[in-house]
Structures are given as C-alpha cells and as structure tokens.
Structure 1
C-alpha cells in the first residue's frame, strides 16, 4: 500500500515538474536579464529619467526629448516628420498634440494609444518588478533569431495586452519584441529592435531602438541620458486650446446684479444673485446661475469652440421652460458677442460680454425682431468677483 502511494506521489510530481522547471526558467531568465542591465538594486534608485537624442520618422531626423518616472509617468517632445508632437501620460490616461490627426489642440488618447504610451513609459523593459505592476510572464522556449540563440518570453500586461520578447541567450539583453502599436490612432502589430547598449551610471541601456509597423520605420538614437532629473508634474496637465484660454476670465465665483431696460430708457435693478463658472472639462466652460423674475429659474450655460465653423458655441439650458438654445459668436475687439441666429428663429437674442477687468465684467442682452437688422436693449447682468 505504501509503495502504491509512493508511486502515485512520484507520478504526480513528474506531471508538475515541467511546470515547476518552466516557472524556474522564467524567474531565472528575468533575474539574469535585470542583472545584465545593471541589477535591481541600482534600478530601484532610479526615480526619473531624461532622454535626448535624434528621432527619425518619414526620413526626417530631428531632436527629441523624453522624461519618464518610476510610477509610469511619461512626457515627450518630438518631431514626427514635418510636425511637432507632444505626448503626456500619467500612468493610466494621457493626451497628445498630434497635427497629423488634423487636430491642432491637445486631445485625450484612446485605449490603443494608452497601451503604446505605457510601453514608452518603461525605463527599459517591462520585466523590472513586473509582478508589482500586475504583469504576467510565460516562458515560450528557446529559438534562433537571425542566427542568434534567444529566450522567448510572452508578457501579458495588466491591461490584457500581450507582447513577445526575445532575449539574447548569452547576454540576457533584449534583442527584439513584438507588440501592438498605433498608426493614426489605429492599432497594428509592430516589431522593435535594440542595439548599441551603453553604461549610464552603471545601468546598461540600449542607445539604438528601431521600430517597424505597417509601412512605417521609426529610429531613435539616444545621445544622452540623465538619471533622476526633476520631473515637473504640470507637464501632465492637458492644456486648453487657445480659443478656450481666451474665455478663462469668466472662471470664478460671482456676485451678479440684474437690471432690465425700462420704458424710460434707463436700467432698472430687479435683483441680485450669484453665479459659479468653472471648467467641467479641459475645453468646456460652464456657468450655473439661479435667479427669480416671476418664478425661480436655474440656467446652465456651456461655452465651447466649434472647430467646423471656427466660432464659439454657447448652449443655454433653462430648467423652467425646459428650453435649450444654441448661440454662436466670437470676439469683436475686446468684447465677446454671440447670438442665436444659427437657430433661424423669428426672434434673435444677442449677448455681449464687455467691460472686462480682473474684478468683473458686464453681460448685456439684446433682442431683434427683424433678423438682426435692429436690436433693442433687454437685460444687463453685472458680474463682480466674490471675495
């Protein structure tokens, strides 16, 4: 009986042994890979990294610079052919200014681009502290790559994306990896090659990186790497488009005096209220204001910029009448003027924001019954910044 139990245990162990050896191979290979790069102790002292050099795209070679942090933050300023491109990533979300998309202002990146920026944010390879990052690694086997013996590892990132890495079986340094990349914000397979490893403060880093995807070829030739420079977290804040920056004077908490145009041809005060104007998104400025004429009214006003028309677009939602109106306009000198003529209604309404100072501004409302040929004064709102 004892002999049968022993044989059963031995049989089960023989079944598990290959998996145990594979697990051991993975950890051994990764440990030697990290040691080849200078060792975990040295890399754990790296908090930030600044990289400068030459970047070639569309056969045009230009200067580039990139900053990375241990926590996965990334900021880069590079030239992609004829266009300057800015990239920023906080470890989870990011934005870019990429004129190749025919978008001149900063936009949020999609999930495919998030995966790419996560790859770009790595100091070297993703195997450093990979378990802490939520990645998984599988040993595929030993192969030949262009006559070179390589270990093949399959990496599954915490986001579910997979990569295949080829490590030199003699040096344990990376030679190539295959991953998903993006071109014009669309995912596609890519191959990345590494060469020219140099020591920087005892850390071995590839100074030549070439990436191919579809018909594209990108070459990064590093010239200098600075360890632990200052990283400015404000770089990661998505900038507002230039047109929206012009409306920043509206932001704040306001005391508002309300007046109406009387039959005597003078302004008559009809009440006081308050207003809060804030950015609800990078390029959306929103005002919430309450007032009471005959009945209480809550109004929400949103300010954006319409790229198609080249004009500002303002939407006004009135909770009392459940009406939604759209206005368009632009700056006229120092004044900001917008109306609802875009809606082709019988009665036009025009608003003018004028008398801008650090302490306030005036919003004047006019009405036209002849499609904007003549305008009649209606109401005036004087905004004073709350202390």
Structure 2
C-alpha cells in the first residue's frame, strides 16, 4: 500500500468520523435523544421548576415584551405600525387590546398562545407528558447535521424539530399555524447563539420564516426567570 493511498484512506476516515458536522450522526432512540437534549438545556428538573419568564425582544419594528406563566398564561405587549397592542391568554380566554380598545381574538390565535409558556422547554414538557414522538432521518441544516424529531400533540397538531447533532440544542422548529387566518402556512422558528440564563439555555437571537419567505430576525435582549406575575395580569374585561 502506497503512502499516498494510506493518506487518502486516513483522510476519508477522519472526514466520516467528524460526527455532527461532516458525517451522518449515530442513530438514537427518542429516549436517548431527549436525555441528551434535556441535559444540554440545563436539566429536566430545572426546567420543570421554571414557572414563569419575562423576555424583552428587540425587533425591527420596535420592542416586544413577552410574559409567560405556566401552565398556559401568556401575554405580549408591543408597538406595531403606530398601534399599541396587547395580546393575552388567561388560561381560558384570549384577549386582544388595540390602542386601549378590546377586540375579538380568533380562536386559533388563542390556542397558539396557550402553548407559548412552554415554548423554550417545550420538548422537555412534551416528553414528560408522554406526547407521541419519533426520530426521523437526520438532515443537514446550515452546514451541519441535525437530528429530526416529530412531535404529535394531537391528531391535528404535529410539529418538527431539528436538534444540532453536536450540542443537542434546537436549531429550528416547524409547524402549521392553528390560526384560521394563517391556514396552510408552514412557520419555521430559528434559534441562534444559545447562552445560559440561571443555568437554563436560551437563544440570543430568533427568527421566523413563513413558508419560503426571508426570515424575520430579532434579539432576546433581556430574560428574567421565576418572576412573580399575578393571574389578573393576563386577564382583560371589556
């Protein structure tokens, strides 16, 4: 065997051995993948203890403040096209206030808001609930390999996740909107540049892609965990 042939074989072996970037990652069961994901996110117990969070998002059209209280209370305060808007879900009803005036919220919009408190640790919570999950064939995303996971919350609600094969953190999610106004739109959420906040992993930047449109990106400027938020903060009465 010549030196150059040996060098070529060695190079090809190293190329395939560089798991997570150049070679297809090792097959994992749902249990093994979720164990690694939860550990990378800061641990299952720490996420289950998290009962509330407040996140300030810096977007191109202004600042958005998101308030979440588990299991299903969620509120957004933001400025949009000269309007001051508050969207809130109090656990039973969705509320929409535009420039101080109450408006009806679409049923699908309220359903989506009910899921937001678990948004960052949603896979951990879904696994604890024993929602149906399956590992799909791995794919390359942004130049590296990702595990693909399918989550079935209900017969009409499926979501897909791409987990980085090196870090086991979520790179991207995808789901069809449950809001009738957005019927048929596949929304993808991008997560970039994770960092630890009180031991739990949150992205510094997020983005949203609607079908094949260019992503809209924003920065998570401030994250506060375990805030005491009264229940009435999420409720409005016309």
Q: Distance in 2 between matches of 1:75 and 1:82?
A: 19
**Which has the larger Rg?**
1
Corresponding residue of 1:41? 45
Tell me by how many angstroms 1:131 deviates. Answer: 4.2
Q: Distance in 1 between matches of 2:150 and 2:199?
A: 28
Deviation by residue 1:275-304 (Cα, 9 ceiling, x = unmatched)? xxxxxxxxxxxxxxxxxxxxxxxxxxxxxx
Corresponding residue of 2:234? 236
Q: Distance in 2 between matches of 1:156 and 1:115?
A: 16
2:224 is the alignment partner of 1:220 = no
Return 5+ residue gaps in structure 1 as ranges. 1-21, 241-387
Corresponding residue of 2:84? 84
Structure 1 counterpart of 2:126, from 114, 124, 130: 130
Distance 1:200 1:127, change over 3 A: same
Structure with the larger strand share: 1
Structure with the larger helix share: 2
Q: Secondary structure at the residue paired with 1:231?
A: coil
Describe how 1:69-148 pairs up with structure 2 within 5 A: 69-91=69-91, 93-97=93-97, 104-111=101-108, 113-133=109-129, 135-148=131-144
Tell me by how many angstroms 1:175 deviates. Answer: 0.5
2:193 is the alignment partner of 1:189 = no
Superposed CA RMSD in Å reads 2.6
Q: Distance in 2 between matches of 1:216 and 1:224?
A: 25
Q: Secondary structure at the residue paired with 2:35?
A: helix
Aligned pair count reads: 210
Tell me by how many angstroms 1:218 deviates. Answer: 3.5
Deviation by residue 1:142-190 (Cα, 9 ceiling, x = unmatched)? 1112321000001112473111110001100000111123789332211
Deviation by residue 1:228-260 (Cα, 9 ceiling, x = unmatched)? 1111211222330xxxxxxxxxxxxxxxxxxxx
Tell me by how many angstroms 1:104 deviates. Answer: 4.4
Contact between 1:209 and 1:220, CA under 8 Å: does it hold in 2? yes
Corresponding residue of 2:196? 199
